[in-house]
Structure 1
Amino acid sequence: MSAPVRTSPTVAGSPSSRTAPRTDGGHRRPVRGGRALTWAQVRSALPGALRKLDPRRMVRTPVMFVVEVGAAATTLLAVAEPGVFAWWVAAWLWLTVLCATLAESVAESRGKAQASTLRAAQQHTTARKVVAPAEPLRYGSRRAEIETTVVPSATLRVGDLVVVEAGETIPGDGDVVEGVAAVDESAVTGESAPVIRESGGDRSAVTGGTVVLSDRVVVRITAPTGSTFVDRMIALVEGSERRRTPNETALDVLLTSLTIVFLLAVATLQPFAVYSGARQPLLVLVALLVCLVPTTIGALLSAIGIAGMDRLVQRNVLAMSGRAVEAAGDVDVLLLDKTGTVTYGNRRATRVLPVGAVTEAELARAARLSSLADETPEGRSVVDLVDAVLGGSAELPPGAEQVPFSAQTRMSGVDLDAEPGAGHPGEPYRVRKGAGSAVRAWLQSTEAHVPAADAEELAALVDGVSRSGGTPLVVAEQRGERPARVLGVVHLKDVVKEGMRERFDELRAMGIRTVMVTGDNRVTAQAIAAEAGVDDVLAEATPEDKLALIRREQEGGRLVAMAGDGTNDAPALAQADVGVAMNSGTSAAKEAGNMVDLDSDPTKLIEIVQIGKQLLITRGALTTFSVANDVAKYFAILPAMFVGVFPQLDVLDVMRLASPESAVLSAVVFNALIIVALVPLSLRGVRYRPASAAVLLRRNLLLYGLGGLVAPFVGIKLLDLLVSLIPGV
């Protein structure tokens, strides 16, 4: 077998290595909602809506359960005392219940359509399972032949190693432990551009059902059969794992309470009616109850929640729960990683800057040697830069003890028995490269004394690189037992994504504070933050620092959202109220977050927040409309029912309906039709524009509150003109 191919950081670090680059300059369209409701969707959802009429399922929504009981009761009354009015009321009450289940079924059918697409990505293939795993490979080492056996992918277990070559399907979720390859993830993400998956970094996770396009990788399986990422996606988008959110539960309690109040009111109305000589038929009382309870929002509540999750799926974001979508709408603080979020991703080494009498060649050789144990794209870019300038290979000398880079140490290096080519075979040699503070601590541990002139020059170089928005990596070495010395600085260049300032302005208009989190020094971080328009910065951040920041914000009563892709982000993603993991990231990150972005675009957090706010606004708007509707229907029905006994009620009979029967039937018909009319809005969502809470409340009251009052008066009057033409009503 050939040695693994190393990709250049200029390729692996480019935007296209993750997803296809955006061509809109970074601007995104406003969240307008989903697709329009079509007859084809209604026809496909109708069987599911009929199944939902099962009382055992309807009892979960008390408001609509009362309507269904009312429909059954009026049907029995119509059978006992047949009449045109009775049968019309019974039919429209059943239609009201069906409209409610149809709204939920249509919302679910969209998820099922997504699930069908995802199932196409589930291929039960064979896998080449490794029989005798080889030793883990280091960067630049030779790859040994690997003995494999062909097995069905369904038999793979967690921890198994499989070999996947170009043109083969990855048999299960896992992490790349050897090699680098281009992978086609279009079956999962919908993006046609291939992505790079490689070992030793935050882009090592692969998804079962995706296809390797080039090279060869060894994958360690991380999910058992039936619990893969695609399996979980299918279960979620089909709604089988959707649970009511806290806001939905609270609203459901309110609606149930109102239903009980109206039930008691209607039940006690008959004794007063009998006392006043205006005894009402039981059929009319049942219809009155159905018209007064908040049927509109009760019918649409579930559909609104399902549609909110569906809007995320349409944007290639998978929410693990409706709670996460709601929390996104209430987010106060947004944490964003600098690298790959605010900036394009992999920083690239562009030059080496020696200190004092050190030559560029000396610094370059030490920088390359210290980077051989650094499997990050930045570390590899240092090796490629030096190799391009000096030539040579990335092979480690025999007997080398590597010091790999970690988020905690923020430093990498190597310990040798002797410096390569130094002519001192018995003198140990150590070299380190990393963040200035980390290398400074290492220098102090060796009791190094940096000359004042060198220290001043080093500080100037670090400051200059930082102020330019770059990242300085300090390189130092130690020979034998002598104190270590500083050699110079490697300049890593980072580029802010286009349109980031405009996106952060949008978040600021929503009342959301943005915090850029980075391991860079404060000067570099502030330079990038100023260019991007971020509100605050957490520099030189460790995983513990991120976790502590989130907890401090939450203790202050704020909801926190965070995007991340690395294993070191997992604790913070788990702690955040909204943790968005990148699909290109590690398995640990995806397990910790409560959302996964299939496009691996961290800036999509803006759309996620907008969709969350749109969900809350839609629910609030339709609740306002429903309550206002009930008030209007009260004025439509009750005066018509009792004006014959109490002429004083004639003042309230503003619609002048033809008869009590036509008033009741018109209200029942309107009750069903308004649900049908609002189904598209509940699925699409109320259009959201960044605005203050006061502006949103005012618009909600004027548009949906006032509209909810006016619509029944107009609608019921028009229906009354038609209903009064029906013989027997």
Structure 2
Amino acid sequence: MTPQAPARAHRPRTQPPDTDGRSYRVGAGTLDPTQLWRALPQALRKLNPATLVRNPVMFVTEVGAALTTGLAVASPSVFGWLITVWLWLTVVFANLAEAVAESRGRAQADSLRRTRRQTTARRLTGRHPDSPGLPHDEQEVSAAELRRGDFVVVEAGELVPGDGDVVQGVASVDESAITGESAPVIRESGGDRCAVTGGTRVLSDRIVVRITQEPGASFLDRMISLVEGAKRQKTPNELALNLLLVALTFVFLMATVTLQPMAIFSTQVMGSVPDTGAINSDGVTGIVLVSLLVCLIPTTIGALLSAIGIAGMDRMVQRNVLAMSGRAVEAAGDVHTLLLDKTGTITFGNRRAALFLPVAHVRDRELASAALLSSLADETPEGRSVVTLAREQYGLDTVPHADAQWVPFSATTRMSGVDLGGPGARSLRKGAATAVADWVREQGGIVPAGLDALVKRVSMSGGTPLAVAETVDGTARVLGIIHLKDMVKPGLSERFRQLRAMGIRTVMITGDNPATAAAIAAEAGVDDFLAEATPEDKLALIKQEQAGGKLVAMTGDGTNDAPALAQADVGVAMNTGTSAAKEAGNMVDLDSDPTKIIEIVEIGKQLLITRGALTAFSITNDIAKYFAILPAMFAGVYPALGALNIMDLHSPLSAILSAVIFNAVVIVALIPLALRGVRYRPSSASALLTRNLWVYGLGGIIAPFLAIKFIDVALVQFIPGI
């Protein structure tokens, strides 16, 4: 029977790359309006001053709302109560933005909690389980009693009781509770795919696991805490922006406090002042000043800043990437150098057959047919790729041979093949060029001079040559060469071009020789490469880049990658990797897709762009509020200021109330944008800045003028006496 290659499960990407350069976008989906209602109770709980004091801008707004409440009670008026209600709504809407962002994380955390249950562990005692053949005992204990260094045995159908590394055996493990992928994965001892996560289920066989976690500090526990925002700390950029907002708030607070004394002084200097209505009454003056302060300080970005940061981590989680801190997400947006392993990231995991090169007097189809037959017993990925190439290029198929004797590939002989008996007995061999040449000579054949030229041609191009030979009725001859090459993943060259446009330098890391590395780097389109790299070389390269003031990102999965992952500013460890790699990195890719680091960088960029865009909008939309409130307040004292009432608002009171209402409503309007993120397309920093200034800066000036005028007209219709 013809040997068949085993079926291999395909794990789909979380989000397929779109490489057309036009429609690619990093986003987080639309906002479900029902999320606003579900998050409202949490937003109301955040009105606690002890909680709100962490956000100085909104804390000042809440103090102002409390002050106007007292003034409205002391001197009741429709204007006073309307201002008070909208100031409280401003604070609630700001809390609502953060509450909605946190609710997404809590929903994901609840899903993870359902996978964490009280598990009984089978702890091994006595002899060390790494010593085969020696007896050891099992003891049933609660999973909560396990300590770092304990050994447990897990069999098919059982849950892994804690995070650890497989030290004995191999098993198929269902990690869908963690990754969301239904396809099982293989975990085995002695390699870089030995790590298992507590709460996952073993589907087959038996493994012995060494526990690597401390009690209550499992990967699942950390994941739950992080996605629900319990341990989210503000990033350096966020702290710097907060400091700026506090400074602006203090400046405007001082300016507002001095306005009333200035107004009294002005009236004394100018003498009689035209009557401006209720705005000059003692009961309303304090409310007007509070309204002015709230409209002057940057409440919009102050309300949305925390939600933007939480949403950035949420977008990572949606792509099955666990960021250990907000700092890691933010650092991803500032990355200058991106280190990528060649195998599995830039190229497919194994070399694939790309071309048949026959020697003189041999036809291409004849070589392809012999290569297919001699590869049917080769279960390696390279052997299966030869069969695939022959079938795709020449439409060849296998015909069962009852008298065939298959020769599987062996690392000793470095060949595979088949012996066909009967009339015209024929033997076929495929393998390393030197091994096949020796086999031909042993069969009494002559190796053609052209073979060396073909071998050198393939080797110089960075490929691996495999020779194919046959014997027919005792006559041996070489048929040609199969060109195996590292196949660059489709679409990567376009992604690297986009990264280059963003100012990010890409460096390929490989253990190949410089000639092979150069050929692959040129085909992939990376900016540079490091050939024959050792773990020390990776670490030295990262330190060299950082010494030049650059932030570096890289991926890894093995223990030998741990030093470089720890040194990198953004270290993305594969979930299939060792515990040492996952502990060293500041992100873990649950899908174990090395190419996802490109998406991680783009999500980080989007976080920074969203924060910058909404900051620009917040600052510029204050301009419209200035034109609404300041002329209304001072036109009576300085009639020339009436010329600044370019919106032709109905009255001073309606102008102030319209600005306060807009100040509250705009926060709700921007919550979906803060959570989803500003549309991001790879381009240079200057181009992104220009775009944000035109779209969000200019938009922040125009939109409030229109909205405040519309609100003013509506107020006049519903409250004629205002």
Query: TM-score by structure 2 length?
Result: 0.79
The CA deviation at 1:516 is: 0.9
Q: Within the alignment, does 1:258 sit opposite 2:266 as a pair?
A: no
Aligned residue in 1 for 2:195:
205
User: Where does 1:330-409 land on structure 2 (aligned, <5 Å)?
Assistant: 330-345=334-349, 389=407
The CA deviation at 1:509 is: 2.3
Question: Among 304, 308, 326, which residue is 2:308 paired with?
Answer: 304
Find the aligned partners of 1:236 and 1:530 in 2 and give their Cα distance.
Answer: 40
Alignment CA distance shift 1:468-1:20 (3 Å): farther
Question: Among 519, 522, 528, which residue is 2:514 paired with?
Answer: 522
Amino acid of the residue matched to residue 286 of structure 1? Answer: V
Find the aligned partners of 2:339 and 2:451 in 1 and give their Cα distance.
Answer: 32
Question: Among 117, 121, 146, which residue is 2:115 paired with?
Answer: 121
Contact 2:353 2:484 (8 Å CA) reproduced: yes
Gaps of 5+ in 2: 268-272, 274-279, 355-379, 385-405, 413-449, 467-482
Q: Within the alignment, does 1:686 sit opposite 2:686 as a pair?
A: no
Q: Which moved more, 1:636-645 or 1:198-207?
A: 636-645
Q: Within the alignment, does 1:588 sit opposite 2:580 as a pair?
A: yes
Question: Among 48, 53, 56, which residue is 1:54 paired with?
Answer: 48
Amino acid of the residue matched to residue 534 of structure 1? Answer: V
Aligned residue in 1 for 2:428:
none
Alignment CA distance shift 1:528-1:688 (3 Å): same
User: Where does 1:467-546 land on structure 2 (aligned, <5 Å)?
Assistant: 467-470=460-463, 494-546=486-538
Find the aligned partners of 2:147 and 2:138 in 1 and give their Cα distance.
Answer: 15
Aligned residue in 1 for 2:719:
726
Aligned residue in 1 for 2:61:
67
Query: Share of identical aligned residues, percent?
Result: 67
Aligned residue in 2 for 1:614:
606
Find the aligned partners of 2:408 and 2:545 in 1 and give their Cα distance.
Answer: 49
Contact 2:14 2:320 (8 Å CA) reproduced: no
Alignment CA distance shift 1:590-1:11 (3 Å): farther
The CA deviation at 1:150 is: 2.2
Alignment CA distance shift 1:589-1:392 (3 Å): closer
Contact 1:182 1:195 (8 Å CA) reproduced: yes
The CA deviation at 1:145 is: 6.6
Contact 1:466 1:527 (8 Å CA) reproduced: no
CA deviation profile, 1:226-254 (whole Å, cap 9, x unmatched): 11101000000010110000011000111
Contact 1:258 1:293 (8 Å CA) reproduced: yes
CA deviation profile, 1:108-142 (whole Å, cap 9, x unmatched): 000011111111221321122222345536xxxx7
Question: Among 622, 639, 643, which residue is 2:635 paired with?
Answer: 643
Alignment CA distance shift 1:602-1:659 (3 Å): same
Rg: which structure is higher?
2
The CA deviation at 1:565 is: 0.7
Amino acid of the residue matched to residue 549 of structure 1? Answer: L
User: Where does 1:527-676 land on structure 2 (aligned, <5 Å)?
Assistant: 527-676=519-668
Alignment CA distance shift 1:25-1:249 (3 Å): closer
The CA deviation at 1:524 is: 2.2
Find the aligned partners of 2:249 and 2:591 in 1 and give their Cα distance.
Answer: 44
The CA deviation at 1:96 is: 0.1
**In structure 2, the residue corresponding to 1:341 is in which secondary structure?**
coil
Aligned residue in 2 for 1:409:
none
Contact 2:461 2:515 (8 Å CA) reproduced: no
Aligned residue in 1 for 2:169:
179
The CA deviation at 1:392 is: 8.8
Aligned residue in 2 for 1:485:
none
Aligned residue in 1 for 2:477:
none
The CA deviation at 1:532 is: 2.0
- Number of equivalenced pairs: 607
Q: Within the alignment, does 1:112 sit opposite 2:106 as a pair?
A: yes
Contact 2:108 2:227 (8 Å CA) reproduced: yes
Q: Within the alignment, does 1:326 sit opposite 2:330 as a pair?
A: yes
Give the alignment's Cα RMSD to 1 decimal.
3.2
Amino acid of the residue matched to residue 310 of structure 2? Answer: I
Q: Within the alignment, does 1:168 sit opposite 2:153 as a pair?
A: no
The CA deviation at 1:316 is: 0.6
CA deviation profile, 1:3-30 (whole Å, cap 9, x unmatched): xxxxx9x879x7x47x347996885973
Find the aligned partners of 2:583 and 2:453 in 1 and give their Cα distance.
Answer: 43
CA deviation profile, 1:514-572 (whole Å, cap 9, x unmatched): 11112222222222222322221111111111111001111111111001111111111
The CA deviation at 1:378 is: 11
Question: Among 73, 78, 81, which residue is 2:72 paired with?
Answer: 78
Q: Within the alignment, does 1:224 sit opposite 2:214 as a pair?
A: yes
Contact 2:18 2:24 (8 Å CA) reproduced: no
Aligned residue in 1 for 2:362:
none
Q: Which moved more, 1:115-124 or 1:270-279?
A: 270-279
Gaps of 5+ in 1: 1-7, 351-376, 382-387, 395-456, 474-490
Alignment CA distance shift 1:338-1:108 (3 Å): same
Q: Within the alignment, does 1:289 sit opposite 2:283 as a pair?
A: no
Find the aligned partners of 1:463 and 1:550 in 2 and give their Cα distance.
Answer: 35
**In structure 1, the residue corresponding to 2:712 is in which secondary structure?**
helix
The CA deviation at 1:144 is: 6.5
Alignment CA distance shift 1:179-1:335 (3 Å): same
Aligned residue in 2 for 1:403:
none
**In structure 2, the residue corresponding to 1:130 is in which secondary structure?**
strand
Find the aligned partners of 1:561 and 1:634 in 2 and give their Cα distance.
Answer: 44
Aligned residue in 2 for 1:695:
687
Aligned residue in 1 for 2:231:
241
Find the aligned partners of 1:669 and 1:23 in 2 and give their Cα distance.
Answer: 40
Contact 2:127 2:135 (8 Å CA) reproduced: no
Find the aligned partners of 2:53 and 2:139 in 1 and give their Cα distance.
Answer: 53
The CA deviation at 1:468 is: 4.8
Find the aligned partners of 1:513 and 1:261 in 2 and give their Cα distance.
Answer: 42
Amino acid of the residue matched to residue 263 of structure 2? Answer: A
Aligned residue in 1 for 2:436:
none
Find the aligned partners of 2:454 and 2:719 in 1 and give their Cα distance.
Answer: 90
User: Where does 1:31-50 land on structure 2 (aligned, <5 Å)?
Assistant: 31-50=25-44
Contact 1:118 1:188 (8 Å CA) reproduced: yes
Amino acid of the residue matched to residue 195 of structure 2? Answer: A
**In structure 2, the residue corresponding to 1:344 is in which secondary structure?**
coil
Find the aligned partners of 2:257 and 2:505 in 1 and give their Cα distance.
Answer: 52
Find the aligned partners of 1:588 and 1:692 in 2 and give their Cα distance.
Answer: 36
Amino acid of the residue matched to residue 52 of structure 2? Answer: M
CA deviation profile, 1:418-451 (whole Å, cap 9, x unmatched): xxxxxxxxxxxxxxxxxxxxxxxxxxxxxxxxxx
Alignment CA distance shift 1:320-1:458 (3 Å): farther
Find the aligned partners of 2:629 and 2:200 in 1 and give their Cα distance.
Answer: 60
Contact 1:172 1:225 (8 Å CA) reproduced: no
**In structure 2, the residue corresponding to 1:163 is in which secondary structure?**
strand
Alignment CA distance shift 1:161-1:461 (3 Å): farther
Find the aligned partners of 2:160 and 2:257 in 1 and give their Cα distance.
Answer: 64
The CA deviation at 1:183 is: 1.2
Query: TM-score by structure 1 length?
Result: 0.78
Find the aligned partners of 1:671 and 1:209 in 2 and give their Cα distance.
Answer: 47
Find the aligned partners of 1:466 and 1:26 in 2 and give their Cα distance.
Answer: 33
Contact 1:83 1:728 (8 Å CA) reproduced: no
The CA deviation at 1:718 is: 1.0
The CA deviation at 1:470 is: 4.5
Amino acid of the residue matched to residue 726 of structure 1? Answer: I
CA deviation profile, 1:36-86 (whole Å, cap 9, x unmatched): 222321122111111111111111111111100000000011111111111
Contact 2:127 2:134 (8 Å CA) reproduced: no
Aligned residue in 2 for 1:429:
none
Alignment CA distance shift 1:389-1:146 (3 Å): farther
Amino acid of the residue matched to residue 342 of structure 1? Answer: I
